[in-house]
Structures are given as structure tokens and as C-alpha cells.
Structure 1
Amino acid sequence: MLLCLAASMQLWRSRLGRMMYSMANCLLMMKDYVLAIDMYHSVIQYQPEQEPQLLSGIGRLLLQIGDIKTAEQYFQEVEQISPKLGNELQQNVIIQMNRAFLHLGQNNFAEAHKFFTEVTKLDPSNPVANNNAAVCLLYLGKLKDSLRQLEGLVQQDPKHYLHESVLFNLTTMYELESSRSTQKKQSLLESVACREGDSFNIQCLKLL
């Protein structure tokens, strides 16, 4: 009886944690960053095993709103508690990603690129690291290298890289690189039409 009760309690705590996580994401979409951060903190109480990921998410959110100092404090805390993840590869990936995003927030694109590249060595299929590594190359004035890297990713692994944020970056590079950008965008649209549903937001291709 006690075992059944404990299992039920654990189940409902997990459900509550997922519900609160969804609420936090909704607040984030509404740009209510203060309440979103509070809600993410509350989720940790119900999903303590996710604490490194949740604190990393809060730190990256703080970078987006320009609070670099507080973000750095969160990232430092993540490095201290990362053994909770229990997986050395996962620990290294999350730490290197946080360092990369911190440098990105500081406009230190060379260092950011270095850390994003380290992540791609640990996890070659990581779409966030690959996409951001290419963006860093763009900011470093290496448009052709950046374009080559992003185009290669989309062609080699469309399942992961025919994504709105990746395609937005790629079409922006096309506009910077060539007067034939419209033709290249239309080619991307054809690839999207073959693989994605009607819900795909084609505005990321900037065809209008």
C-alpha cells in the first residue's frame, strides 16, 4: 500500500513539474521574463534531476535580456552541480554550450565560435551548436565559410536543419552573398515543401 502511494505521489509530482514547465514556456513566449524565471525555479522543486538544464536555460534567458553578470553566475552554479547529470559527455556539452553563449552575449565571437566548435566535436549532431558556430563565422567576417557550413548541414541532415531559425540565418547569408538570393530561397522552399507540413512558417525564408 505504501509503495503504491509513493508511486502515485511521484507520478503526480512529475505531472505537476511538466505542467509548470509548460506554463513557464508560455510566459516566456509572452515575454514576461520575470515570472518565467520564477516558474522555472519552481519546476526545479519537482524535477531536481533537471536542475543543471533549467539553470542553464535561465542563464541563457538572462543573456537575451542583457543581464550578462547574473547569467554568468547561473552558469557558474551549473558547473558546480553538473555532476547531477551523471553523464560526463552531457556535463561537458552543457558547460561548453553555456560558455559559448556567455561569450556570444559579450560579443566575443571568436571565443564563442571556439566553444560551439568544441560542442560539435563532442556532439556532432547538435543543431544549436552547429547553427551558432556558423553565425559566429558570419560575425567574424567569414561569410563564405559560414555559408558553406550552414548549407552543408541543411543538405546533409535536412531532418534536423530544415528548421526556421537555421533557414532564417541561411537566407540572411544568401542576401549578403549574392544577387541570386531569391532563386536560392525558392530552392529552400522546395525542400521545405517536400518535408514539412502546412504549419511550417515560411516567413523565415524572407521571400516577400
Structure 2
Amino acid sequence: MDEPSETQTQTQTTDPLTNQFGSLNDLSHELASLQELATRGSWRSILDKVSRARALNLLSKPHDQLIYLSYNVLALSKLRRFTEASTELDSLHDFNSHHYQYESYPELYPNRSGSMVPFSLRFIHAQLPIKLGNRQEGLDRFYLLLNFIRQRIEDKGSHNLEESVKVWKKRENFVLNCLIGHHLGAKEFNVCLDLIKDLINRGYLDPVLVSKLGYIQMQVGDLEGAKGSFQRVETMLSERKNDEYSFLSEVEFKNLVNRNKALVYLVGKDYVSAVREYEECIERDHSDVVALNNKALCLMYLRDLSDSIKVLENALERVPTVALNETLVINLCSMYELAYVNHSEIKRTLSNWIARVAPDDFDASCTRV
């Protein structure tokens, strides 16, 4: 049974160029259609669209080819075809080559300079070795990417390009959160603490980051330190201090505070109080999957298996596009196995429903049918 999780990370993986154009399609060939397919999780359709565009020679400009390659690599990764994604990515050889610089094509990109390689490609390049089982190479690439980002922040700052600095600092925050997640998964808590404290000492006041600090402090048994970190997040909310490089809305910020409080109750096995905090989150935002999942687990710990199942089933019915993730489905199937003799039939019904509505990258094997 999966324990409550507090790893929620949001990010933007495309470059912020669209504000210079009337639409996404002005930026690249039929980019709006690719973006819509990605939003729906239609990764196989993206592969078909990229293949067709390449076959018909519709990608006339270098940046078009790079953008379509980015979507192709992303789709392959989502479909867990990591070796193919890696091979496609390796075809670029060197991201810093002059072939991928706007100034190398002055007739196509007048008055533009810098790299046309999407940030998403650089991120996937770092992530792929880990997916392929080479964790150390992946971590090395992530740290190289972090250095690359910090160099960009320094360069943009020296030219007083404040909006660009904000974009790159958000990327720094995102990459660091990913690094922390990888180290956390290997129980390398001291590395995580060093990374977070370094960011905080350099002025980042991201409530998600400070909450993650509290979560890690809990993992190492420092409950008082964790309470202090969570209190700091609550103070940030009361003072309306949300780091400008954070992606949190006000509702997400409030729910983060409630979920932090719930974690403290969970450690003390006060499941009733934890449920109360999660219910506040759900009342504010019906699509808060962490709160929904963890409320159901708390009810199960309180031996209210019937209600815990209802919480997850209702979530799948109300917000399937959000609630349909492997952790929630695994927990629901585990509850079926505990509650029903005929759990195989019930899980088969769930599996059939998932097959109709799930995105292409959903791992249907999590139902254990």
C-alpha cells in the first residue's frame, strides 16, 4: 500500500516565445495541434503527426525540426520507449553546436540570437539515462543542466533582462526539485537538505521547497525541525509571500499548508485530524489528488474501508483526467482486495473503464488484474 506523498511539482516545458507571436501556430508548424494532443495525453497521435510532417517535408526551418523532435522524444518517453527516445535525442550530437544557433541563419531569423534548442529537450536529455537504469549519468547530466541554467541567469542578469531571469530561475527551481526527488528516492537525505538549504540561503522562498525541507526533516526523525519548516510556510501564506519563481496559485498555497499540517498529524497517528485537513483541501479544490489519496488512506487506517473506497471512486468519477494516476489506482485496487471477495471482477471493471478514458502513457498493469 502506497504511503501518503507530498511530491507535487508543476512546470512549463516550452520556451516563453509565444508572447512574441499571435498564436502557437505562428511559432511553429501546427504547434497548437501538437500542444492539444500533449494536453490530452495522446502520445501515439503525436508520433503519427511528427512522422507525417517529416515525411511530407513540412518542417522547413531548423527550429521547426527541433520543436517536432522535442515532441517526438517526449512522446516516446511517455510511452516508456526510452531507448528509441535516447537514439532520437543522440542524433542532435551537441546542443551547443552552431547548427542550433539562430544567428547561424540570419536570413531566416533576422535580429535573433542564442540557442533554438527547447529547454524541454535539455531536461529530457538529463532524465533519460535514469529511465534507462544509468542513474549516475543522469545525475551528472542534471548537475550540468543546473550549471547551464545558472550561467544563463548570470548572463541575463548582467544585461538587465529581468523577464528572462525569471524564466530561467523558475527552471532552476524545477530542475533542483527534480534532483531532490531523485536523491530522496535513494534516501540520500543529507544531499537533499544541502540542495534545499543552498536555495533558501540564496533567497528563494518557494513554499513547495520549504515544505519539502519539512518532509525530509520528518524522514530523518527531526519532527521539531519539520514543524518549524511547515510553520514557516504558514507564515509565508499569512504574509502573502509566494516566491516569484513559484508556480503556486493562492488555492494551491492554502492546500499546501493544510497538507503539511496533515502530515504532522499522520506522524502522531491522529488520522481524524489529518482527515479534517485533507477535507479542507478537497472543499477548496476537488482535483487535489494528494489530499484525496491521503484522505482515503487515513480512513482506511481508521478501519473505514467502505468510505475510503468511496473517496477514490468519487474522485475518479468527478475528475478522471486528474485523479487517474497510478498511485491512486494502486491504492484503490489494494482496498478492493481487502474489502471484497470478488475483487478480481471489480478490478476488471475498473480496468476496462481505464482503457476507455486513460491517456496513452497510463500504466494499466497497476490494477493487477
Is the pair's TM-score, using the shorter chain for normalization, greater than 0.5? Answer: yes
Structure 2 equivalent of residue 137 of structure 1: 299
Instruction: Tell me how far 1:73 sits from its aligned partner.
Output: 1.6
Structure 1 equivalent of residue 242 of structure 2: 85
Structure 2 equivalent of residue 164 of structure 1: 326
Structure 1 moving runs of 4+ over 6 Å: none
Structure 1 equivalent of residue 179 of structure 2: 23
Work out the CA distance in 1 between the residues paired with 2:234 and 2:308: 30
Work out the CA distance in 2 between the residues paired with 1:14 and 1:141: 42
Work out the CA distance in 2 between the residues paired with 1:122 and 1:158: 18
Counterpart residue identity of residue 320, structure 2: P
Instruction: Tell me how far 1:109 sits from its aligned partner.
Output: 0.3
Counterpart residue identity of residue 28, structure 1: L
Instruction: Tell me how far 1:183 sits from its aligned partner.
Output: 1.4
Q: How does 1:1-208 map to 2 (within 5 A)?
A: 5-7=159-161, 10=165, 12-44=168-200, 48-50=204-206, 52-82=207-237, 83-85=240-242, 89-194=251-356, 195-197=358-360, 199-207=361-369
Q: Normalising by the residue count of structure 2, what TM-score does the alignment of the two structures yield?
A: 0.50
Work out the CA distance in 1 between the residues paired with 2:170 and 2:310: 43
For each residue in 1:112-168, what CA deviation from the matched residue of structure 2 results, as whole angstroms up to 9, or x when unmatched? 001111111122221111111121111112111111121111122221112111111
**CA contact 2:177–2:209 (8 Å) conserved in 1:** no
Highest RCO, 1 vs 2 (Cα 8 Å, sep ≥ 6): 2
Runs (5+) with no aligned partner, structure 1: none
**CA contact 1:14–1:46 (8 Å) conserved in 2:** no
For each residue in 1:49-85, what CA deviation from the matched residue of structure 2 results, as whole angstroms up to 9, or x when unmatched? 52x2111122123334543232112111212223212
In the alignment of these two chains, the number of paired residues is 204
Q: Assess, with a 3 A threshold, how the Cα gap between structure 1 residues 161 and 16 changes in structure 2: closer, same or farther.
A: closer
Q: Assess, with a 3 A threshold, how the Cα gap between structure 1 residues 182 and 99 changes in structure 2: closer, same or farther.
A: same
**CA contact 1:68–1:106 (8 Å) conserved in 2:** no
**CA contact 1:134–1:149 (8 Å) conserved in 2:** yes
Q: Assess, with a 3 A threshold, how the Cα gap between structure 1 residues 122 and 16 changes in structure 2: closer, same or farther.
A: closer
For each residue in 1:7-50, what CA deviation from the matched residue of structure 2 results, as whole angstroms up to 9, or x when unmatched? 17725544444333332222122221221222123334567252
Work out the CA distance in 1 between the residues paired with 2:337 and 2:209: 36
Work out the CA distance in 2 between the residues paired with 1:6 and 1:45: 23
Counterpart residue identity of residue 19, structure 1: V
- Identity between Structure 1 and Structure 2 (%): 27
Q: Select the structure of larger CA radius of gyration.
A: 2
Q: Normalising by the residue count of structure 1, what TM-score does the alignment of the two structures yield?
A: 0.84
Q: Give RMSD over aligned pairs.
A: 2.7
Work out the CA distance in 2 between the residues paired with 1:24 and 1:95: 20
Work out the CA distance in 2 between the residues paired with 1:65 and 1:169: 25
Counterpart residue identity of residue 191, structure 2: L
Of Structure 1 and Structure 2, which has the larger fraction of its residues in helix? 1
**CA contact 2:258–2:281 (8 Å) conserved in 1:** yes
